Amino acid sequence: MSSTSPPHAPSATVAIRSAADVSDLVNSGTASGRHAKMIVVIALGGIFLDAYDLSSLAYGLPDITRQFGLSSAMAGTVTASISVGSLLGALLGGWLVDRIGRYRVFMANMVFFVVTALVCAVAQDVWTLIAARFVMGIGVGMDIPVAIAFLAEFSRLRGKGSKGSRTAAWSPAWYTATSGCYLVIMFLYFVLPDAHLGWLWRFTVGFGAVPALIVMLLRRRYMNESPTWAAEQGDLESAARILRESYGVDARVADDVPARAPRPPRPGLASYARLFTGPYRTRTVQSVAVGLAETFGYNAVAFGLPIIIATLMTQGPLTTIASSFTLNLVFALTGGLLGIRWASTRGAWPMMTLGFAIQFVAITVLALIGRPSGTAVVTAGILMLGAFMFAQGFGPGAHIMSYASLGFPTSMRGVSIGFNQAVLRLGSTLTLFFFPILSTGLGTHVYWVILGAPVLGLVALLVKRWEPVGFDADAEERALARG
């Protein structure tokens, strides 16, 4: 772990007597050093890698299909393999981050990104590519629970830099990565000779090893365990040390309190059952429902942008690359940045509801347009895709993590995110597998299928108005324990 000195001299010693004291220090914003902010940036770097690796094959799928002579079902298998791996990785990672800690899991999974990116880039047959993407998915699945846990546990409860704002920050980090992926594709499109454009997907996927190495080096320099998790494990001395190192708070264990209390039982896989008890049951079901709606719509539209623009809108390769890049950078990223700004002041529920409503309108218009003819109608269709991506950025895309993480205490935050992501990855896998098949068989009528995503999201939100932003789940857990 990091041994860096505090970024500034503390003004007074803070006595730590319990895990509640540590949680209150973080939640109040008293602990807010520059080092802690760097940990948040690195956690977002993990999200960046997840998005880049998931997006890197989107444009190259037609070339992969031609090079390996794939049927539409095998093409769907290639795209879905990373989601199958991430499903297993999410379940495993969610359990591990609660059992052995955030830091250890965070440091371990980078090897998945580096090695598998390079294997994908040089794969000589489709089964090697599928296997490498599957293993890469395990790394992606493990990374998201721990990254979101860090974002929540190194942030104050309310105000600027709150848990709600920083968990929402995963959305612009994601779209920065997808925009960067298309920027890499566009650069390579102009650099590679025409005869070698079929290699474009290999360079794009392989380039993912570069940011992974950078994040790995930064993690070794700056990362630290979550002080809240350490305190929950009975290790108040480590929690106090992390507060000193990462926050610049001169925290010390009170003299009349043992530095290491008896450690609570390590959570087993049965801890997933706790998600369906007490107050957590409704939150779990709602977070899964809105998450399935988000992931179905995202994977069909955002991941499927190259297919939609090139096939359903019959545009050339340069228009497809440029449009996909612009939609991610201008519309989705802008929406994601607004999602951060609005999270603390407007909350997750209103933004999610508005986002799904806009997406409902956008998909309906696309379905009515069908296959566009003429510049004006094509432009209108692309603008509808932009509206969908903008709404995704500030609404469902930003806040599914708020619903999956902020309503659950530190002791079960890993499994709550892991379970949520596992179910979402199952939905993602099915979407990625069937979308190429459906778009080929149904043509523009596939929009009517996609319309089910915002409908499901709106129904799930309107059934129960639950606001996770600003909610102190750790305090609730302590109150429940007291009876």
Alpha carbons 55 and 176: distance in angstroms, whole number: 11
pTM: 0.76
- Nearest alpha carbon to residue 274 among 411, 112, 474: 411
- pLDDT digits (tens), the chain, 483 positions: 444 444 444 457 888 888 888 888 888 765 555 666 777 778 788 778 777 877 777 667 778 888 888 887 888 788 778 878 888 888 888 888 888 888 788 777 777 778 888 898 888 999 999 999 898 888 888 888 888 888 887 777 877 777 888 888 887 887 788 777 778 877 887 887 777 667 788 888 888 888 888 887 887 777 778 888 888 888 888 888 888 877 777 888 887 777 666 666 666 667 788 899 988 999 999 999 999 999 888 877 766 666 666 655 556 666 666 776 777 778 888 888 888 888 878 889 999 999 999 999 999 998 888 877 777 877 888 888 889 989 988 999 889 889 999 999 988 888 899 899 888 888 877 776 777 677 777 777 888 988 999 999 999 999 999 999 988 998 898 888 876
Alpha carbons 391 and 354: distance in angstroms, whole number: 8
Q: What six digits make up the tokens of 258?
A: 């043992």
Taking CA atoms, 13 is separated from 6, 212, 252, in Å, by 13, 38, 7
Dihedral Cα 321, 322, 325, 330, nearest 10 deg: -160
Say if residues 446 and 382 touch (Cβ distance below 8 Å). Answer: no
Strand partners, 252: 15
